[in-house]
Amino acid sequence: MEVITVPAEAAMLERVDALIQEKLETIHCPIRTQMQVKLAVEEIFINIASYAYPSEVGQVEVGVDIDGDPPVVTIRFVDQGCPFDPLEKPDPDVTLGLQEREPGGLGILLVKKFMDQVGYVYENGRNILTIKKEIK
Amino acid sequence: MTISKKLDGENLMMALEGRLDTTTAPQLENECKVCLYEVKELILDLEKLEYISSAGLRVLLAAQKQMQKQGGGMVVKNVNETIMEVFEVTGFVEILTIE
């Protein structure tokens, strides 16, 4: 697994995105799947950057691995911020009309819908979120 | 992201090019704040938009609400397959007028 550690700041998304792009380019990955993976990465990374460290700038470790046939991309996010399980919150109601809609919650929903697996554990003071997607 | 605007009477056409994500969404939000108050119909052309994230959806939702509040309309057109999928999963297909 190739791992980088960056400050948990929205501005670092570009760096993380570049790593994912670089890895996906090593296999034949359809544009649509690339977008879904990058979308999941953005949503998770921005969540961590926004909420993990309320009073300091902490670090996030992002690891990417591609393995298997058909290839499965695994991306792991590790931070030492407040314990937060994004999978715990119920999904927003996507059938509500315009006026009832409040922004928020859609990011994690997109991650769940577009990835094959999303897993979360809190271990030794660290949030560990792992997503997996088969590339086909 | 590049935003090209064309005002035709009371109709404003905005063509978005590139990525509508966490970094670029404030750009569209600002444009909407500045431009929408005197517009009757807002047409968003997404032909050259490659990518949208929840930050982009948030701005589209706000624009749609604002247009409705001022008695106008908003139309989204030329949506590519990837972005359409995002609209479907989030129920935005029901909220937006997509042509």
Please report the ipTM that was assigned to this predicted complex: 0.91
As for how many domains chain B has, the answer is 1
Within 10 angstroms of residue A1's Cβ, the number of other Cβ atoms is 11
Cβ neighbours of B89 in A, within 8 Å: 94, 109-110, 113-114
Question: Per-residue DSSP letters for A7-54?
Answer: ES-GGGHHHHHHHHHHHHTTS---HHHHHHHHHHHHHHHHHHHHHT-S
Which residue in this structure is represented by tokens 């691995």?
A65
Q: What is the mean pLDDT of residues A66-73?
A: 96
**B98, containing H or E segment:** strand B97-98
Q: What is the mean pLDDT of residues A68-90?
A: 95
Cβ neighbours of A109 in B, within 8 Å: 89-90
The per-residue pLDDT for B39 is 95
Which range marks the domain in which residue B83 is found?
Answer: 2-98
B61: domain CATH number is 3.30.750.24
Q: Residue B26's closest CA among B61, B56, B52?
A: B56
pLDDT band for position A105 (cuts 50, 70, 90):
confident
Q: Residue A98's closest CA among B53, B22, B57, B49?
A: B57
The per-residue pLDDT for A93 is 92
Q: Report whether pLDDT(A80) > 90.
A: yes
pTM: 0.94
Q: What is the mean pLDDT of residues A19-34?
A: 94
- Shortest CA gap B38–chain A (Å): 21
Q: Report whether pLDDT(A99) > 90.
A: no
The per-residue pLDDT for A104 is 77
pLDDT band for position A98 (cuts 50, 70, 90):
confident
Identity of residue B61: L
CA-angle at B54, arms to B92 and A33, nearest 5° = 90
The per-residue pLDDT for B9 is 93
A71: domain CATH number is 3.30.565.10
Facing residue for B53 by CB, picked from A39, A94, A97:
A39
A:21-80 residues touching chain B, CB 8 A cutoff: 31-32, 35-36, 38-39, 42-43, 46
pLDDT band for position B16 (cuts 50, 70, 90):
very high
The tens digit of pLDDT for each residue in A111-123 reads 999 999 999 999 9
The rounded mean pLDDT for chain A is 95
Q: Report whether pLDDT(A4) > 80.
A: yes
Identity of residue B26: P
Q: Name the residue of chain A whose CA is nearest to B54's CA.
A: A107
Q: What is the mean pLDDT of residues B34-45?
A: 94
Please give the DSSP secondary-structure letter assigned to residue A99.
Answer: T
User: Contact A37/B53 with Cβ under 8 angstroms?
Assistant: no
Instruction: Provide the number of CB pairs (under 8 Å) joining chain A to chain B.
Output: 63
Residues 6+ apart with CB under 8 A from A25: none
As for how many domains chain A has, the answer is 1
The per-residue pLDDT for B75 is 98
